[in-house]
Amino acid sequence: MVSKKGAQQSATEDAERSEQGTEQDVEQGAEEGIEGIEIEGVVEGLQEDSQTQMKEEAWLEGEGEIALVGGGVIGAGWAARFVLNGCNVVLYDPSCEAWQRCQRVILQAERALSQLTTAPLPPRGRFRVVEHIEEALGNAVWVQESVPERESLKQRVLGQLAMLLPKETPIASSTSGLLPSRLQARLRCPERFFVAHPFHPVYLLPLVELVGGEQTSKALLVRAKKFYERLGMKGLIVRKEIDAFVADRLLESVWREALWLVKDGVATTEEIDDAIRYGFGLRWAQMGIFETYRVAGGDGGFRHFLAQFAPSLLLPWSRLVDVPQWSDALQNRIVAQSDAQARGLSTEELERIRDANLAGIINALKGEEWGAGALLLDYERKLSERAIARATKGEGAKRKGKEQQQPKEKDEAKKDEAEKNKTEKNKTENFLQEGEVCLLRERVSEMWLDENGHMTESRYLQVFSQATNLLLGSTGFDEACLARGFGFYTLETNLRHLHEAKRGEGLVVATRVIDCAKKKLHLLHRMFSLSDSRPRAEVATAEHVLLHVSRTLARGVAMEKAVFERCQRLCSKQKLVPQPDFLRLSLQRTKP
């Protein structure tokens, strides 16, 4: 909201190795009931039950649990997506490696999200792994199945889930191409089953294809679309049920043609990847295929493009139906070329590079409010609204900084959690002064560190800027105010660095309104450490003088009455408190 000086997560032993190598991305078409109907019309025509919406929003604040069945590549990605959006997650996977795998992916996701956005993420949800499938379902409000891509296995696991769960609990399958009608055919209450097919890495790529079977409720697909979108995802309801859905059918075509090019010696694996990443892959990332070709048609648009290039469809330019005969020789050629292409980089190193690149591409699109970038902007707005709601309800101190560990018994885990929350609250209350509010808690991410292992200078400003936005949000300055053309510009900042903030350290910001005039605000933020080794150590302070402006008139104007009165109330709470002697700014001295 504040512009800086310039107008800014088996049922059977067959599930023993959940989809560790399964990563091929495919999706399905929508249920028969949606066929031939405009999707937007379906969305607008179905009324979402308000109580259901409130329940699902509560899940994002840690109520209930999201049950994951299968913790391989995709299941671990779901765990990260849910946990980092504030949902409590319970995983059933018979593999002894599931816990470690998910922990590693959650850390990867946390690193990637710190590169993707500076919006205030909610307190982490809890994550636990159980030994029996029944334990995973006791408090489940939503179930995401991600066992290996074998139809018979999925049918058995889904059948057991349907028998154990209450009839209203939704069951989503992460299948990359199996037909939902076949998966739900023998299920109890089949109307609550659908496909929610994500893309790897699940915690970073936003698309989730939503596919209903013949018996799936239409309303459930709409509900699922809205639920996943609250997690920062793009829910795409597929109109027709079809093997491999939409995206994987496209990927399969490119993959088959690439295999022919390698087999025939036309190109190596690296050369094929170069053709994609230096050429059309960049265009596809921001416009897809049809809009790219529309632009290629020039002023004549798509009609001109078709007139020019449609005849080439009759030329023998592809071999999409045929598949090269698979052999050890072809396999060895591909593996050898791929090994050479990796140049000694480990999978973990390649994952880091991939995540950083994806975050950068999405952020670039954000600047134009386009595609995945526009989706990110909307997600950031929702994150800020949730942070403000938590703060104004006094919920900001919940669950942040909890260590993720395997809980012992359920009651004991709840007791441990209550003790941690009490400790965190006491830490906060011990340093809050009269008139101060605690709106923001953060944890120093690995991506925030300099070469000395300390939080870099720009991240201090980032945290203080988030605290400012939350303070303004608590006064009622919201998206509606922005839409009316109002905003706050930072006129002056005074930042003091008192101690280093280190990797993984919990931070809390206490904020007060020092002074308030009709057009200007003087804020003071104090940042404290929540580390057990130095509790309540003051890490940094920041003063900001803000000017309320009309962006239409390009000048300072008086705040709207409701916002101004709330700022005054916050200011009056600390008028009798001695002002810190380190203050350097004032409304009187700072000129617009």
User: What confidence tens digit (pLDDT) does each residue in 75-88 have?
Assistant: 999 999 999 999 99
Structural contact between residues 66 and 59, judged by C-beta atoms closer than 8 angstroms:
yes
Strand spans (E) along 28-161: 65-69, 89-92, 127-130, 140-145
Mean pLDDT rounded to a whole number for the chain: 83
Helix (H, G, I), strand (E, B) or coil at 217: coil
User: Each residue's pLDDT tens digit in the chain (592 positions)?
Assistant: 544 333 333 333 333 344 443 333 333 333 333 333 333 433 333 444 555 665 666 666 667 899 999 999 999 999 999 999 999 999 999 999 999 999 999 999 998 998 898 888 888 899 999 999 999 999 999 999 999 999 999 999 999 999 999 999 999 999 999 999 999 999 999 999 999 999 999 999 999 999 999 999 999 999 999 999 999 999 999 999 999 999 999 999 999 999 999 999 999 999 999 999 999 999 999 999 999 888 888 888 888 888 888 888 777 777 776 778 888 998 899 899 999 998 998 988 999 899 989 999 998 998 888 999 999 999 988 888 888 777 666 533 444 333 344 444 444 444 444 444 444 444 444 567 777 888 888 888 877 888 888 999 999 999 999 899 989 988 999 889 999 999 999 999 999 999 999 888 888 899 999 999 999 999 999 999 887 666 668 999 999 999 999 999 999 999 999 999 999 998 988 777 788 889 988 887 666 6
**What is the per-residue pLDDT for 268?**
97
**Which tens digits make up the pLDDT trace of 175-210?**
999 999 999 999 999 999 999 999 999 999 999 999
Structural contact between residues 106 and 128, judged by C-beta atoms closer than 8 angstroms:
no
**What is the per-residue pLDDT for 164?**
96
3-state secondary structure 466-499: HHHHHHHHHCCCCHHHHHCCEEEEEEEEEEEECC
**What is the per-residue pLDDT for 417?**
46
pTM of the model: 0.76
**What is the per-residue pLDDT for 269?**
96
**What is the per-residue pLDDT for 526?**
94
Helix (H, G, I), strand (E, B) or coil at 511: strand
256, HSE (Cβ side, Cα atoms, 13 Å): 14
Contacts (Cβ under 8 Å, ≥6 apart) of 393 = none
d(CA 384, CA 393): 14
| DSSP letters spanning 97-135 | THHHHHHHHHHHHHHHHHHH--S-PPPPPPEEEESSHHH
In terms of Cβ atoms closer than 10 Å to its own Cβ (0-12, 13-18, 19+), residue 231 is buried
399: tokens are: 């669950």
**What is the per-residue pLDDT for 181?**
98
**What is the per-residue pLDDT for 161?**
97
Residue bearing tokens 């309800």: 393
Buried b / exposed e along 289-320 (16+ C-beta atoms within 10 A)? eeeebbeebeeeeeeebeeeeeeeeeeeeeee
